[in-house]
Chain A
Amino acid sequence: MSEQHTPLWEVFIRSRNGMSHRHAGSIHAADAEMALQAARDVYTRRGEGLSIWVVPSAAIIASDPSEKDMMFEPTGDKIYRHPTFYEIPEEVGNM
């Protein structure tokens, strides 16, 4: 293929103040400015956002799904990290 590839960007949108930015999808654009404009046109046509982040997809470091167990299994047996692990007499009420 003779055509040059246009870089890929990941798009994150804050739907309203008080919310964190959330991944909305991705977009192709030659530079950051065009990526922002394209993200606005593609992902916020109906007032979906107040703020957009665009990040070059290649800059994201991801954990490997095949190592999911090694990464996350150690928290599985640490039930003492949850409030329900501790018994409190009923008369104490909500705690």
Chain B
Amino acid sequence: MYTQSLNTAVQRDGAEEDPQKLAAFQAKIDREEKIEPNDWMPAAYRKTLIRQISQHAHSEIVGMLPEGNWITRAPSLKRKAALLAKVQDEGGHGLYLYSAAETLGISREEMVEQLHTGKAKYSSIFNYPTLNWADVGAVGWLVDGAAIMNQIPLCRCSYGPYARAMIRICKEESFHQRQGYELLLTMMKGSEDQRQMVQDAVNRLWWPALMMFGPSDKDSVNTADSMRWKIKRFTNDELRQKFVDATVPQAEVLGITLPDPDLRFDEESGHYVYGEPNWEEFYNSIKGNGICNKQRLKDRVKAHTDGAWVREAALAYARKERERREAGKQAAE
């Protein structure tokens, strides 16, 4: 239940927190108890969550664009229905997450504005183009696969509404990854051209998928607080390693190679060793200079602006109906 009535004003940045409250809060988290919307929380916890959840929501919404691009050109009715359902799910995930963020005292309109003005970020992966049909499969397999790896530990996040949203999302993501992998398997059984399309898509999307886990631990500024508050359970590099370990054998079944000359299995650690992602490319994309950043934002802003009259009309209609009901009630009295 997410009414705002009990939410107290967010504290100013840098304001001193009451040490007693702070200790009680940390003890609660250490006991694995969830924090709920109207519970006391440090301003920095609130701020971190608003940033993380809203950016997660933005990623889901912007993530509809690269795949939506292929709906009209899906090669069969089955693939079209699956892709439509997947893109609709992404929209739904965005909405679950916006709702979770709103429980922390930020409005939907504020969040949308932050996205549209470039103040809020979204996952760098969606700034890459989807150039051929195999990209739809590779996005499902690699991008949703990486997202699942990131999201499963978030189901145990200390903030209740975020954890509950993530449980719903994770249940639905599994279909996304499987349909993508199956799509690629089908193409691999096709012509030589189709196999090359798959290899090409994976070559382009492998590194961006690895970057989805965020910067290397040594350069990550947000990890320590998030770990202490149990917003995060694993570091970026730990999750990236899990993803690589899970994905390399799947690539072998598929019959493609991964574009990393340093990739090898390390008997001693039992893990795959992989090369260094191009972090300059990552930061560039985050800063707004990726391949599709401008296109993505332009499309989002256009969709929002084009829909403004619908929102206005719906609100005007609701107001008119309310007034009509009230007038009817008064006349009856």
Shortest beta-carbon distance, B90 to chain A, in Å? 12
Bound together, the chains give a CA A45 to CA B120 distance in angstroms of 29
Interface pick from B32-40, B260-268, B271-279: B32-40
| Residue numbers in A under 8 Å from B172 (CB-CB) | 45-46
Contacts of B1 in A (CB 8 A): 10, 23, 57, 60, 62
8 Å CB contacts to B: which residues of A7-62? 8, 10, 23, 25-31, 34, 41-42, 45-46, 57-58, 60, 62
Contacts of A84 in B (CB 8 A): none
Flag B77-119 by CB within 8 Å of A: 1 or 0 each.
Answer: 0000000010011001001100100100001111001000000
The reply to whether A58 and B165 form a contact with Cβ atoms under 8 Å apart is no
- Select the stretch in B2-10, B53-61, B132-140, B245-253 that faces chain A: B2-10
Chain A residues, Cβ within 8 Å of B95: 27, 42
Q: If the complex has contacts A31-B314, A62-B5, A65-B6, are A42 and B96 also in contact, measured as CB distance less than 8 A? A: yes
In the complex, number of A-B residue pairs with CB atoms less than 8 Å apart: 76
Contact, CB under 8 Å: B311 / A57: no
Contact B40 A66 (CB under 8 A): yes
**CB of A81 within 8 Å of the partner chain:** no
- B312 at the A/B interface (Cβ < 8 Å)? yes
**Cα distance, A4 to B318, chains bound together (Å):** 13
Given A31-B321, A62-B38, A64-B38, residue A1 in contact with residue B89 (CB < 8 A): no
In this complex, the interface size class of chain B, counting residues with CB under 8 Å from chain A, is 35 or more
Nearest A residue to B89 via CB reads A45
A45, A58, A64: the one contacting B88 at CB < 8 Å is A45
Q: How far is the CB of B160 from chain A (nearest CB, A)?
A: 11
Please determine whether A25 and B96 come into contact, CB atoms closer than 8 angstroms.
yes
**Which residues from A are CB-within-8-Å of B291?**
none
Do residues B314 and A62 form an inter-chain contact, with CB atoms below 8 A? no
Q: Give complex CA distance A38, B305 in Å.
A: 20
* Residue A94 lies at the interface, judged by CB distance under 8 Å to chain B: no
Interface of B is mostly: helix
Report the bound CA distance from A65 to B1 in whole Å: 13
Interface size class on chain A is 20 to 34
A82 beta carbon closer than 8 Å to chain B: no
Asked whether any CB of chain A lies closer than 8 Å to the CB of B315, the reply is: yes
Cross-interface CB contact of A27 among B99, B109, B110, B308, cutoff 8 Å:
B99
Chain A residue numbers with a CB within 8 Å of B99 are 25-27
Q: Does A5 contact B (CB under 8 A)?
A: yes
Known contacts A25-B99, A30-B318, A31-B318: A57-B3 contact under CB 8 Å: yes
Cβ contacts A to B, 17 pairs, < 8 Å:
A3-B109, A6-B315, A8-B2, A25-B96, A25-B164, A26-B99, A28-B108, A31-B321, A41-B88, A42-B96, A45-B85, A45-B89, A60-B3, A62-B1, A62-B5, A65-B36, A65-B38
Interface set of A (CB-CB < 8 Å, partner B): 1, 3-6, 8, 10, 23, 25-31, 34, 41-42, 45-46, 57-58, 60, 62, 64-66
Given contacts A3-B308, A26-B2, A58-B5, 11 further A-B contacts (CB under 8 A): A1-B109, A1-B110, A1-B113, A10-B2, A23-B1, A26-B102, A28-B108, A30-B314, A31-B314, A41-B88, A45-B172
Top 9 closest A-B pairs, CB basis?
A30-B314, A31-B318, A30-B318, A26-B99, A30-B315, A65-B38, A65-B39, A57-B3, A60-B3
